[in-house]
């Protein structure tokens, strides 16, 4: 007995605002199951459904911020809400809203349907069919990459679930197995299939696939492959740092539009089509107190180097001091004719998520040069390239033990990544990847606990670097085992 699951998936696209631009034909709900995944138009809708779910995944509950930044030293609590305090104090539990991985797996499921059914759409040109398949494979890998980095071991399904006579339950596969047997093969297949002439940054193109590959290799500490993958990106002769002049408008445009020579893969957003991006309520909107404020540990880095243009781009510098938590991130919003950011309401928030850009790739390269070849000279040159664009001046080695060791160099690179990629979903993973979570976060969590007048337990347990599996997921699938030390 077969489900019409793939029809239900595309039905949800029709109902979702994220694909309205493309829906000027007969509603999918009027098509029979036997007709779907048959035409080029169906293929377009099927792939659009995958992107729609990425939007939902990162927007829902502000997951992009809570997964990538809020647990790090980038942000502190913005109020008395239990959830945001649990996030910044490492008090996660199985009922924490963003402990739920459902949306990630819906995106994976949509990719699985596309991978199965796209080859049968013979009316597509081979180039177009392969390009759609490349996006499906690449996004499936990208979603699994998020799952593995957040929860470790992960349930793996690589074919659509269509037969209700089969159990939907899956045990978790080890993280290394998912990396080596799912994520890397999917990305390599995507790289083989993709239309390499496509430069649309709002789709997963060849550059985006290589960027994910470099990120995966960096996570695995496979520095030789990081460097060889980035060499392929360089050979495309497609990307460059956006200039910071005039004033900083070019740099600002790179962030706001997500569509410049620096941008590699950007998740597009239009509130009229997609609804408001949930990131607004988390870190900056005009009609709600932010859930998370910029931690002074970050803002004070900028306040000691006020010529850095990223300072004025990121927040209101008139209220920055060691005691004042900064309540809004301005970074992602356009400027009015006076040079002030136009902060939207939550409903009108259309932040474009900068999933990968050239500055990120260059700093990955610096990290790999440092560890693969002990090339601190090359790594420093890259850091200075980023700092020069930001008008921040060259790196001061004296602040980093004169770069005596590779760890000192890594610290300098991570500090630059924190400022350059602030609020772009990178900092938490940087701390995890480099084994610095406890060293950075334990004293900071204790300070926050002291501010709130609660017991100063600190980060408390390295096992809590991983997220808990949500109670909802555990109830649905009895084969799942909770990450210790969390309870069900």
**pLDDT tens per residue across span 30-73:** 343 356 899 999 999 999 999 999 999 999 888 999 999 999 99
In a domain, 153, yes or no: yes
Domain stop point among 321, 351, 381: 351
Structure confidence by residue, pLDDT tens digits, 393-414: 999 999 999 999 999 999 999 9
Q: Crossing angle of helices 406-420/296-303, nearest 10°?
A: 90
**What are the beta bridge partners of residue 267?**
353
> DSSP assignment of 181-236, as one string?
IIIHHHHHHHHHHS-TT---TTS--HHHHHHHHHHHHHHTT-HHHHHHHHHHHHHT
Q: Identify the pLDDT of residue 104.
A: 98
Domain stop point among 351, 368, 399: 351
pLDDT exceeds cutoff 70 at 146: yes
Q: Identify the pLDDT of residue 244.
A: 84
Cα 475 from Cα 221, distance rounded (Å): 35
Residue 352 three-state SS: coil
What's the 3-state SS for 13-59? HHHCHHHHHHCCCCCHHHCCHHHCCCCHHHHHHHHHHHHHHHHHHHH
Q: Identify the pLDDT of residue 321.
A: 57
Structure confidence by residue, pLDDT tens digits, 243-280: 988 877 889 999 999 999 999 999 998 877 877 787 77
Shared domain check, 466 and 331: no
Shared domain check, 164 and 44: yes
Q: Identify the pLDDT of residue 325.
A: 66
Give residue 359's pLDDT band: very low, low, confident or very high (50, 70, 90).
very high
Q: Identify the pLDDT of residue 285.
A: 74
Domain that holds residue 289: 269-351
Cα 270 from Cα 248, distance rounded (Å): 24
In a domain, 233, yes or no: no
CA angle 34, 38, 42 (to 5 degrees): 110
- CA distances (Å), origin 21, targets 8, 24, 268, 293: 20, 8, 13, 35
Residue 71: which of 57, 95, 90, 58 has the closest Cα?
90
**At 126, which CATH number?**
1.25.40.390
Give residue 324's pLDDT band: very low, low, confident or very high (50, 70, 90).
low
Shared domain check, 37 and 181: yes
Q: Identify the pLDDT of residue 227.
A: 99
Kindly report which listed range (137-151, 243-257, 449-463) carries the lowest average pLDDT score.
243-257
Cα 430 from Cα 421, distance rounded (Å): 11
Q: Identify the pLDDT of residue 446.
A: 97
In a domain, 237, yes or no: no
Cα 9 from Cα 48, distance rounded (Å): 11
In a domain, 75, yes or no: yes
Q: Residue 29's Cα: distance from chain center in Å?
A: 32
> What's the structural domain count of the chain?
2
The token duo for 46 is 């099927």
In a domain, 306, yes or no: yes
pLDDT exceeds cutoff 50 at 416: yes
pTM here is 0.92
In a domain, 293, yes or no: yes
Cα 259 from Cα 278, distance rounded (Å): 21
In a domain, 225, yes or no: no
Give residue 78's pLDDT band: very low, low, confident or very high (50, 70, 90).
confident
Cα 136 from Cα 258, distance rounded (Å): 22
Cα 71 from Cα 339, distance rounded (Å): 31
């Amino acid at each position: 007995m077969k489900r019409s699951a793939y029809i239900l998936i595309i039905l949800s696209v029709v109902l979702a605002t994220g694909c309205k631009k493309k829906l000027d034909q007969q509603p999918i709900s009027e098509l029979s199951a036997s007709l779907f995944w048959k035409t080029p138009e169906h293929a377009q809708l099927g792939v659009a459904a995958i992107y729609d779910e990425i939007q939902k995944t990162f927007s829902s509950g502000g997951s992009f911020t809570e997964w990538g930044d809020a647990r790090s030293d980038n942000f502190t609590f913005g109020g008395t809400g239990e959830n945001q305090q649990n996030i910044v104090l490492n008090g996660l539990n199985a009922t924490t809203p963003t402990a739920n991985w459902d949306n990630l797996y819906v995106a994976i499921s949509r990719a699985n349907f596309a991978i199965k059914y796209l080859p049968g759409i013979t009316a597509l040109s081979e180039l177009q069919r392969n390009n759609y398949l490349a996006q499906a494979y690449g996004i499936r890998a990208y979603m699994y990459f998020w799952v593995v980095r957040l929860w470790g071991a992960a349930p793996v399904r690589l074919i659509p679930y269509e037969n209700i006579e089969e159990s939907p339950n899956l045990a978790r596969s080890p993280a290394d197995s998912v990396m080596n047997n799912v994520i890397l093969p999917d990305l390599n297949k995507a790289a083989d299939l993709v239309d390499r002439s496509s430069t649309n940054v709002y789709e997963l193109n060849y550059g985006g696939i290589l960027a994910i590959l470099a990120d995966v290799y960096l996570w695995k500490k496979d520095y030789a492959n990081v460097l060889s993958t980035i060499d392929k990106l360089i050979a495309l002769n497609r990307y460059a740092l956006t200039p910071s002049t005039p004033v900083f408008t070019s740099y600002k445009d790179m962030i706001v539009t997500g569509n410049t020579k620096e941008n590699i893969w950007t998740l597009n957003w239009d509130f009229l089509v997609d609804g408001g991006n949930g990131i607004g309520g988390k870190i900056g909107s005009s009609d709600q107190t932010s859930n998370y404020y910029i931690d002074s540990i970050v803002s004070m880095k900028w306040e000691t180097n006020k010529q850095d243009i990223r300072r004025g781009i990121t927040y209101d510098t008139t209220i920055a001091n060691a005691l004042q938590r900064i309540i809004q991130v301005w970074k992602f919003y356009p400027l009015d004719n006076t040079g002030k950011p136009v902060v939207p309401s939550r409903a009108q928030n259309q932040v474009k998520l900068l999933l990968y850009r050239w500055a990120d790739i260059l700093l990955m390269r610096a990290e790999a040069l440092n560890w693969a070849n002990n090339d601190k000279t090359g790594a420093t040159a890259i850091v200075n390239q980023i700092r020069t664009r930001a008008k921040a001046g060259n790196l001061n080695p004296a602040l980093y033990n004169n770069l005596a060791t590779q760890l000192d160099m890594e610290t300098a690179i991570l500090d630059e990544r924190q400022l350059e990629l602030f609020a772009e979903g990178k900092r938490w993973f940087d701390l995890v990847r480099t084994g610095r979570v406890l060293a950075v976060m334990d004293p900071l969590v204790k300070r926050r606990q002291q501010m709130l007048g609660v017991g100063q337990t600190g980060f408390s347990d390295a096992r809590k670097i991983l997220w808990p599996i949500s109670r909802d997921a555990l109830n649905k699938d009895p084969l799942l085992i909770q990450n210790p030390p969390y309870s069900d």
